[in-house]
Structure 1
Amino acid sequence: MELTSEPSEFIYMYASHESETELCRMELNALLGQAKPLKGRGPMLRSSRLLDPDRSPYVSMRLDVLMQGDSVEEIARQASELELGDATFKVTYVKSGDPCSYEDQRMLERRVGSSIRGKAEMKHPDVQFGLLSAEGQWMLGWCRHPERAWRLHKDKPNNYSTGLSVTTARSLVNILVPEPAGVRAADPCCGMGNVLIEALSMGIDIRGWDINPLATRGARANLKHFGYPEVVTLGDMTQVTDRFDAAVLDMPYNLCSVLSTDQRLVMLQSLRRMAKRAVIVSTEEAAESIQQAGFAILDSARVWKGSFVRNVWLCG
């Protein structure tokens, strides 16, 4: 078996804080579809979809499955057929799988590693293999870890104290645009540009508006700080006539921007004219208004920080 062999499937290991559990589920459902949960020590999803682990703030590793068997001996036999060339390697027991003592983990790693024809390198291998045991099955594959360069977006020149966190903003973008190619997106109440930055970092074509000149100035400064183009316009979302494939609306919620039911409905109707697919965020219950605006609610979640709770709806 050559090192360039195609994986048969992918196992995604993930984790989230309890305050983001619902949002994590919603995001991974959007990105991976009907992935099958895999029982083990930690949460895992089994899928045929290839997803860059850097897309999701919750994915900690992707295992590209190369071989499967009923025992570690069967995996070792298959591993002996690997052709690594001059590449160095390391075998690591995946801790999200079945519980295993430290000593047994090292023993299993040595058993499989000794069968691979190549040079072992523990510190800086060219290839890292993951050995996984779950639900009575053994698997060996490539470990793909996220680099998480997006974490640098936490250090913005401008932000609101109640603004979306980088994790939440990134997750909302993934829910809105699971497949970025060819999609035109909008954020008509973009604030300081948190969603815009995450979307642009994924290569998504997106534009933003805000009615507040302080917000648009802050958003432009944030975008420039990270080297992204100026995609923000000062303006009222109800006056936007452009059409998009998808749009996110983080509805105003600070004490100076309390919306009446009628105002909220007008904003949602404007959003409906703007895009057929939308992610809507509100600190208030808005399901009825969302449906009155012509949307169908496809999924929903809550994310909170202390007593501050955001409701999230995916609509189409």
Structure 2
Amino acid sequence: MNSSPTTYIYPFAAHESERELCLMEQRALFGHDAEGTAYLESPLRLAPNRSPYVQLRLDVLFAASSLAELGEIAATLELDGRTFKVRYLKSGQRLTYEGERGVERQIGARIRGIAEMRNPDITLGLLAREKDWVLGICHHAEPVWLAHKAKPHNYSTGLTTVVARALVNIALPRPEGKRGIDPCCGMGNVLIEALSMGVDIVGRDINPLAIRGARSNLRHFGFQENRVQIGDLNELEGAYDAAIVDLPYNLCSVLSVSERQRMLESVRRIAPRAVIVSTEPLEQEIADAGLSITDHCTVSKGNFVRLVWEVQREM
């Protein structure tokens, strides 16, 4: 290509029950959300499969006020013998099926190269924004988290792979050189998503059965099972950059207010920032533990509602 992108566009999709979590993840990763549109623009270049809600990354090459002008610019592309196809991205202004195919043909006809519809070397994404048209290179996401659903062991009320992956991104949006911990790791859902993204993380749980299940799950996906050890959050030592804490909530793990308070105080002790998940409102308890809430959302699954808080240690 004869132009280098300086802007990236991330089309995304989320079920209504996870819309708030999707936007919260965007605020953590990009510093702002895309409320009101189905795509987010940013100068940050992230792997397209980083977020479970992102469908692809569009590396912007050109923008023009009209489709005709964009076609003239597209005629200057140098593909160096590579095959291509043009794909209209539905995340922008909506067109009819015939309209989408028409604008694809209009731009594709201006590009000097070999069109290949089935298996092109390059897919060029065409996006209609509110006031202009954009053409760029598509890098599609590989939804690795879908494969992680087939774990040997799981809790029926455990975090889904999508939610777990989003929580990791909220807790550690810039994970390079940082270390995370899931001190109530259960069967390791958060750990697996974090490790699949190259995040340095360890897991602890007070329940030996959970530890055995988590180790089996890690081993199943090719991760080191020694990243999980038995341990009580309230007795953990060491310091971590971020913690992801899904507080126990099933009938066998009913926590008293004093127990929750002690756990939240332990979170503050081991990490300056954390993502906390609970089925009960904890705003006052979070404040009493010396943590301040920087963002929050709710995630629902039928009648089962989780509350999610991004917190940081008060100085």
State the TM-score, normalizing by the size of structure 2: 0.96
Q: In structure 1, what is the Cα distance between the partners aligned to 2:242 and 2:94?
A: 42
Using the TM superposition, give the Cα deviation of residue 61 of structure 1 relative to its aligned residue in structure 2, in angstroms.
2.0
Amino acid at match of 1:178: P
Q: How has the CA–CA distance of structure 1 residues 104 and 51 changed in structure 2, closer, same or farther, with 3 Å as cutoff?
A: same
Distance 2:138 2:288 in 1: 46
Query: 2:233 is matched with which residue?
Result: 237
For each residue in 1:115-143, what CA deviation from the matched residue of structure 2 results, as whole angstroms up to 9, or x when unmatched? 11111101100000011112120110011
Give yes or no for contact 1:38–1:45 (8 Å, CA) kept in 2. no
Residue 61 (1) aligns with residue 35 (2): no
Distance 1:38 1:287, change over 3 A: closer
SS of structure 2 residue aligned to 1:311: strand
Q: Is the 8 A contact 1:29 1:35 kept in 2?
A: yes
Q: 1:36 to 1:193 in 2, by over 3 A?
A: closer
**Correspondent of 2:176 among 174, 181, 184:** 181
Aligned: 1:161 with 2:169: no
- What is aligned with 2:269? 273
Equivalent of 1:136 in 131, 139, 157: 131
The answer for the alignment partner of 1:254 in structure 2 is 250
Question: For residue 8 of structure 1, what is the aligned residue in structure 2?
Answer: 6
Give, as a single letter, the amino acid of the residue that structure 2 aligns with 1:169: A
What is the DSSP-based 3-state SS (H/G/I as helix, E as strand, rest coil) of the residue aligned with 1:244? coil
What is the distance in 2 between the residues matched to 1:236 and 1:104? 59
The alignment of Structure 1 onto Structure 2 pairs a total of residues equal to 311
Segments of 5+ residues of structure 2 without an aligned counterpart are: none
Note the 1:70-85 alignment, pairs <5 A. 70-85=65-80
Percent identity, aligned pairs only, is 55
After superposition, residues 41-60 of structure 1 pair within 5 angstroms as: 43-60=38-55
| Mapped partners of 2:33, 2:305: distance in 1 | 28
Matches within 5 A, 1:107-118: 107-118=102-113
Alpha-carbon shift at residue 37 of structure 1 (Å): 5.4
1:282 aligns with 2:278: yes
Inter-CA distance 37–130: structure 2 relative to 1 (3 Å threshold)? farther
The 2-side partners of 1:140 and 1:280 are apart by: 40
Distance in 2 (alpha carbons) for counterparts of 1:227 and 1:10: 32
In 2: Cα distance, 1:202 partner to 1:67 partner: 30
Contact kept in structure 1, 2:299 and 2:305, CA below 8 Å: yes
> Residues 91-240 of structure 1: matches in 2 within 5 Å?
91-230=86-225, 231-240=227-236
**Stretches of 4+ moved more than 4 A in 1?**
35-39
- Find the aligned partners of 2:116 and 2:36 in 1 and give their Cα distance: 30
Structure 1's 35 and 77: CA in aligned 2 closer, same or farther, altered over 3 A? farther
Deviations along 1:265-305, one digit per CA (max 9) or x if unpaired, are: 00011111100010000011111111111111000011011
Cα distance change of structure 1 residues 37 and 238 upon mapping to structure 2, 3 Å threshold? closer
Looking at structure 2, the residues matched to 54 and 85 of structure 1 have their Cα atoms a distance apart, in angstroms, of 27
Q: Which amino acid aligns with 1:199?
A: A
